Chains A and B, each alone.
Chain A
């Protein structure tokens, strides 16, 4: 529908026209890709009737700050019964909302008492936090709780966490191959490793494993023993990084692995030592699509707003690795030092992902995540 319609002034053709090379062969992948492209185009051109003024001189709509704030504040309140499927993810919902509010400059310390009340019953006496009261401890809610408490701040908030129990519990997730499970009896993948290392470093837990840790019998003494090697094995032949060794390279897992490496040491040491850098860079650069401007998570998958976070989060780590190896050049911070296309990502987020009533969605035509629809339609 937008094919023939002219774009607003100030938008480069790169962001309004299909890429220069497209294969004629049609498969499911290209069908989905073209569908997405068609849905994005009116937004990219700035001519979709749900988009609101003001647009800047480059044809980009403004960040609808008041709507997003309202959406985020609302997302911390009550959900209808149809959201029972998120019962194990409540710490995440709180974390995302608080993080986004912080990014928008809001003071989230006002949620301190409510955060303490929310998370206290989720902690297990044997260490760590579950997704809710009576749920077994899991690295993801434990990560979300730890970061949320750090955001709301204060001794009272920090005191919620039983650090010793957390230390003992994390040791039970540590695996002989260097990685971490996400929960006892759960799967082992780089989420486990990343979440564990964030918790260990934020809580300043001893890096040594507890004396009675079972995994010590495999010759491991510390939480980081074997970990860089485990992460290294997660780099695939494509250059990207997978959730566990041997599976497909994936943007969210790439972030977990790179961020974990960068907690273990300086980016310029760790990334170059444990990753094939040219391969990684080539794959990471390939995540960005034109004209959409956003990132995809894997080769031949679609752009998705969530990868603005995951893939977008990889780039500063990559750039830290590169700039760390350079003499402190004065112009290192100039805009062109971004290795991804910052304009494209900005356009995708502001033009395609802003929901009419606040919140950011994956892509046009998709529900806003994670809120406000009632029952699955099956």
Chain B
């Protein structure tokens, strides 16, 4: 494992008192290890010094510099991010400087990451080290009693590259809860500008829902009353501000009209009505315009499904036969890829399941 030529750490007086811990890849056992990587000598050397300083839990400037060196070579190294955060706090470093540096790393990494990795196969390991690092820093109330001013702008620059990036939205959700930003005009205006540029940005719709209807203060995050009500009523609020509900329903309508086959605002509207404890029936006339007279000029499968749910909702609206007829239209004509799902729904209506 010893590099043939002396590396920059081995030849540096600053590191002379450290005995690096070379990589143990298991080959000592005589068996050839699996999925090995022919690391560059620089990476191999830096990580061998990392193992050594981590074993001593060294909190020092040189260790901090070492973490930066490794991050540049491999930003997906979650251990090095974890260690770096500890050093920053131990040395009481200026975290705003760290954020500045991190902004550059994140933007560069996001760009590389899209080209470099298959995003989802490696979703499970450690692709969000730098996002979590940011959260660890900013969660320090001592350093950040309030939202750092540049944060929303930085996030928008991330969204400029990837407007649906899951890790960035997850971080933004955390930010809202941590700094109690539900009513922050910036949050809402950023969401609206993203929806204005792409009304199909479902991540932005999700964020909007959380701002308007998500549990606040110290209530656990998630769908309101997820665990206090039975599953059928999940998402229903204890206290409903009907003005907000009506405004959000109007907002969703305005967006549906632009592109009726866009599922996002339909799901949003269902969520709003559910939160308010109101039925889907009140949208009967609005929805009907996307279906046409004899359900022959359908502009939205979501409108059809909505009508079905209206006809099954309560005795006032009940039209089981019509519901089945529409479900059959979905199944055979407008949405046949989901044939089995529509069949299941038909069996439910007919009481077979």
CB <8 Å contact, B126 and A121: no
The CA of A307 and the CA of B305, in the complex, are separated in Å by 25
- Are B34 and A84 in contact, with the CB atoms below 8 A? no
Q: Which of A50-58, A61-69, A208-216, A270-278 contacts B (4 or more CB under 8 A)?
A: A270-278
| A133 in contact with B120 (CB, 8 Å) | no
Given contact pairs A27-B200, A29-B200, A229-B227, A247 touches B169 in the complex (Cβ within 8 A): yes
Identify which of B132, B203, B259 contacts A248 (C-beta below 8 A): B203
The answer to whether B111 has its CB under 8 Å from any CB of chain A is yes
Stretch at the interface among B75-83, B140-148, B314-322: B75-83
Is B198 touching A236 in the complex (CB atoms < 8 A)? no
A80 contacts B38, C-beta separation under 8 Å: yes
Contact of B34 among A118, A131, A236 (CB under 8 A): A118
Query: Which applies to chain A's interface (DSSP): helix, strand, loop or mixed?
Result: loop
Beyond A92-B122, A299-B263, whether A131 also contacts B78 by CB under 8 A is yes
Q: How far is the CB of B67 from chain A (nearest CB, A)?
A: 13
**Is the pair B341, A285 in contact by a Cβ cutoff of 8 Å?**
yes
Is the Cβ of A300 less than 8 Å from the Cβ of B135? no
User: Is A76 touching B35 in the complex (CB atoms < 8 A)?
Assistant: yes
Selected from B21, B222, B338, the residue in CB contact (under 8 A) with A246 is: B222
CB–CB A232/B227 < 8 A: yes
Segment from B8-16, B57-65, B293-301 that makes contact with A: B293-301
Chain B residues 14 to 66 lying within 8 A of chain A, measured CB to CB, are 21, 23-27, 29-40, 43, 47, 50-51, 54
Instruction: Report how many residues on chain A are interfacial, defined by Cβ distance under 8 Å.
Output: 118
Residues of B contacting A370 in the complex (Cβ-Cβ under 8 angstroms): 117-118, 121-122
State in angstroms the CA–CA spacing of A326 and B34 once bound together.
46
Cβ of B43 and Cβ of A81 under 8 Å apart? yes
The closest CB in chain A to the CB of B333 belongs to: A20
CB-nearest residue of chain B to A291: B337
* B343 within 8 A of partner (CB): yes
Which B residues lie within 8 Å of A22 (CB)? 261
Q: Is the CB of B222 within 8 A of A233?
A: yes
- Tell whether, in the assembled complex, residue A237 and residue B198 are in contact, meaning their CB atoms are under 8 Å apart: no
Chain A CB within 8 A of B178 CB: no
What residues on A are CB-neighbors of B227 within 8 Å?
229, 232-233
* Cα distance, A366 to B4, chains bound together (Å): 38
Return the contact of A300 from the options B209, B263, B271 (Cβ within 8 A): B263
Whether A25 and B339, one on each chain, are in contact in the complex, defined by CB atoms closer than 8 angstroms, is no
Kindly state the separation between the CA atoms of A246 and B222 in the bound complex, as whole angstroms.
4
Per-position binary interface string of chain A over residues 239-260, scored 1 when its CB falls under 8 Å from any chain B CB and 0 otherwise: 1000111111110100000000
Q: Which residues of A contact B21 (CB under 8 A)?
A: 134
Task: Name the A residues within 8 Å of B340 (CB-CB).
Answer: 336, 338-341
B122 proximity list for chain A (CB < 8 A): 86, 89, 92, 370
Specify which of A113, A237, A301 is in contact with B164 (CB 8 Å cutoff): A301
Of the stretches B183-191, B230-238, B280-288, the one at the interface is B230-238
Q: Is A9 an interface residue (CB 8 A)?
A: no
The interface bits of chain B over 65-109 (1 if a CB of A lies within 8 angstroms of the residue's CB, else 0) are 000000001111111001001100000000000000000000000
Question: Size of chain B's interface in residues, with CB distance under 8 A?
Answer: 110
> Which of A37-45, A165-173, A185-193, A199-207 interfaces with chain B?
A185-193
The answer to whether A299 touches B222 (Cβ under 8 A) is: no
B36 touches A78 (CB 8 A): yes
A283 to B39, CA, bound (A): 43
Write out the residue numbers on chain B whose beta carbons fall within 8 Å of the beta carbon of A8: none
Q: Are A118 and B74 in contact (CB under 8 A)?
A: no
Is A30 close to B, CB under 8 A? yes
In contact, A301 and B39 (Cβ under 8 angstroms): no
Q: A250-B166, A341-B339, A344-B337 are in contact. Are A238 and B231 (CB under 8 A)?
A: no
Contact B220 A177, beta carbon cutoff 8 Å: yes
Contacts of A283 in B (CB 8 A): 267
| With A232-B227, A237-B223, A304-B120: A20-B334 Cβ-Cβ less than 8 Å | yes
Q: Report the bound CA distance from A135 to B24 in whole Å.
A: 12
**In this assembly, does B262 line the interface, its C-beta being within 8 Å of a C-beta of chain A?**
yes
Chain A residues lying within 8 Å of B180, measured Cβ to Cβ, are: none
Q: A21-B298, A87-B37, A336-B343 are in contact. Are A306 and B79 (CB under 8 A)?
A: no
Q: Which residues of A lie under 8 Å from residue B260 when comparing CB positions?
A: 23
Question: What residue of chain B has the Cβ atom nearest to residue A366's Cβ?
Answer: B118
Instruction: Specify which chain B residues have a CB less than 8 angstroms from the CB of A133 in the assembled complex.
Output: 23-25, 51
Q: Is the CB of B121 within 8 A of A28?
A: no
Contact of B198 among A28, A81, A113 (CB under 8 A): A28
Whether B31 and A113, one on each chain, are in contact in the complex, defined by CB atoms closer than 8 angstroms, is: yes
Among A22, A141, A233, A239, residue most surrounded by chain B Cβ atoms (within 10 Å)? A233
Q: Does A21 lie within 8 Å of B34, measured CB to CB?
A: no
Asked if A118 contacts B221 (CB within 8 A), the reply is: no
Cα A290 to Cα B340 with chains together (Å): 14
Asked whether any CB of chain B lies closer than 8 Å to the CB of A128, the reply is no
B328 at the interface (CB under 8 A from A): no
Using A140-B125, A244-B170, A276-B232 as known contacts, say yes or no to A310 and B338 having CB atoms under 8 A apart.
no
Q: Does A5 contact B (CB under 8 A)?
A: no
Contact B24 A246 (CB under 8 A): no
Is the C-beta of B239 less than 8 angstroms from some C-beta in chain A?
Answer: no
Q: Are A118 and B200 in contact (CB under 8 A)?
A: no
- CB contact under 8 A between A247 and B124, given known A117-B27, A233-B227, A235-B234: no
B123–A252 touching, CB < 8 Å: yes
Provide 8 A-B residue pairs closer than 8 Å at the C-beta atoms, listed in order of the A residue: A90-B34, A121-B25, A238-B206, A243-B170, A247-B170, A283-B267, A338-B340, A370-B121
Which 5 A-B residue pairings sit nearest by Cβ, starting from the closest?
A237-B271, A245-B222, A233-B222, A369-B118, A117-B26
Name B residues whose Cβ lies closer than 8 Å to a Cβ of A: 21, 23-27, 29-40, 43, 47, 50-51, 54, 73-79, 82, 85-86, 111-112, 115-118, 120-126, 128, 132, 135-136, 163-164, 166, 169-170, 173, 177, 197-203, 206, 209-210, 213-215, 220-223, 226-227, 231-232, 234-235, 258-264, 267-268, 270-271, 274-275, 298-301, 305, 333-341, 343-344, 353
